[in-house]
Structures are given as structure tokens and as C-alpha cells.
Chains A and B, each alone.
Chain A
Amino acid sequence: MNLLDVALVIMSISLIPCLYRIIVGPTLPDRVVGLDALTLVMVVALGVYSYMQESPFFLDAALVLSIISFIGTIAIARYIDEGAIF
């Protein structure tokens, strides 16, 4: 068990607060913050896994995931704010 395995375990533990915040979170913005944090943790886990496997393709997945997370969060925020996305 080396450093990278430990990092993956810590990232898996870090998913629990995000899931708690998505399920319990008292208001809608709380859930949005939880989803954003979830994708952030998954991006880190993908980066670590990519370094473990020594293949750069998981980093492509991480980049796409972060772009989708950004666009999605902006869309939900505009929906909460004005009731319409466009």
C-alpha cells in the first residue's frame, strides 16, 4: 500500500460529506454546492488514478468532467436566480 492508494482511499472518504450534503442539504443551493464538490473530488481521484495507471487518458475524462461541472453549475445557478436559463 503506497501513497497513491492512501490518496484514493482518502478521496473515497471525502465523497461521503458531498453525498450527505446532496441528500440532506436544507436548501437547493446547498445541493448545488454539494454536486460541485462531488465533481471536484472525482477530478482529483481521476488524476491520481491516471498517474497510477501511467496513462494520460483518464485526465481527458477529468477535463471533460470539470467542464461539464462548470457549465452545469452555472446553468442551475441562473435557474435558481431568474427562473430561466436563457
Chain B
Amino acid sequence: MTTATDIIGNVFFLAGILFVFVGMVGLLRLPDVYNRLHATTKIATLGTFGVMLSIAIKAGFSTMGLKAITVGIFLLLTAPVVAHMVARAAHRSGTKMWTGSVIDEYAEDNKREKESQI
């Protein structure tokens, strides 16, 4: 029984650490703000949730397990809000998208709206 929970916990733990590391590599490699947000606020958040879940599985129904699952759920709930706020602020303050971007319907719609107001 204990070995099974240990194995499951270790699998979640390793996957979580790996995902956080890959997210940070993405932060270094990807070309502009929006793509970096993809790497950090989602892959890394999923990794954090995995690590906290593994701690909760290993520690069981104790103080540590409950607190770990709280931290994980809090991060999972707030990550999309942070990503949305930063992306919108970056776009509205005029941060350029990467030159390889193929389409930007948000800028087109904003421009059309501004023209219709005049």
C-alpha cells in the first residue's frame, strides 16, 4: 500500500519538476511576451500543481497535505487571470508582436473601432 502511493507520488513529483524546468527553458527561448506567457503561466503552473499534488499524496491527510493542496489549487485558479492581465496590458501599451506572427485580429478590430468613432 505504501509502496504504491510512493510510486504514484514520485511519478507526479518528477513530472512536475520536469514541467517547471521546461517552462523556464521556454521563458528563455521563445521570442516575444505572449509566447513566453504560454510557457511560464501554464506549463510551469501545471508543474507546480503536480509537485503539490505529489506532496499531498505522500503526506496523506495531514496538515502538510492540506496546505500543499491549497497552494496548488490557488495557483491553478490565479494563473489564467495573471496571464490575461499581463497579455492585455502588453498589447494595449503597444508591445510589438514577434515578426513571425501570422495574424492579429485584435489590432485590426481596435483600429476599425477607432475609425468608426471618428
Q: Do chains A and B touch in the complex (CB under 8 A)?
A: yes
Residues of A within 8 A of B (CB): 3, 7, 10-11, 13-14, 17-18, 20-21, 27-30, 32-34, 36-37, 40-41, 43-44, 47-48, 50-51, 54, 56, 59-60, 62-63, 66-67, 70, 73-74, 77-78, 80-81
* Residues 20-50 of chain B, each 1 if its beta carbon lies under 8 Å from chain A, else 0: 1101110110000100110011001101100
Tell me which of A21, A48, A51 has the highest count of chain B C-beta atoms within 10 A of its own C-beta.
Answer: A51
B8 at the A interface (CB under 8 A): no
A/B pair count, beta carbons within 8 Å: 131
Chain A interface SS verdict (over half): helix
Q: Is the CB of B24 within 8 A of A14?
A: yes
Q: A40-B45, A47-B71, A51-B55 are in contact. Are A80 and B20 (CB under 8 A)?
A: no
Q: Is the CB of B67 within 8 A of A56?
A: yes
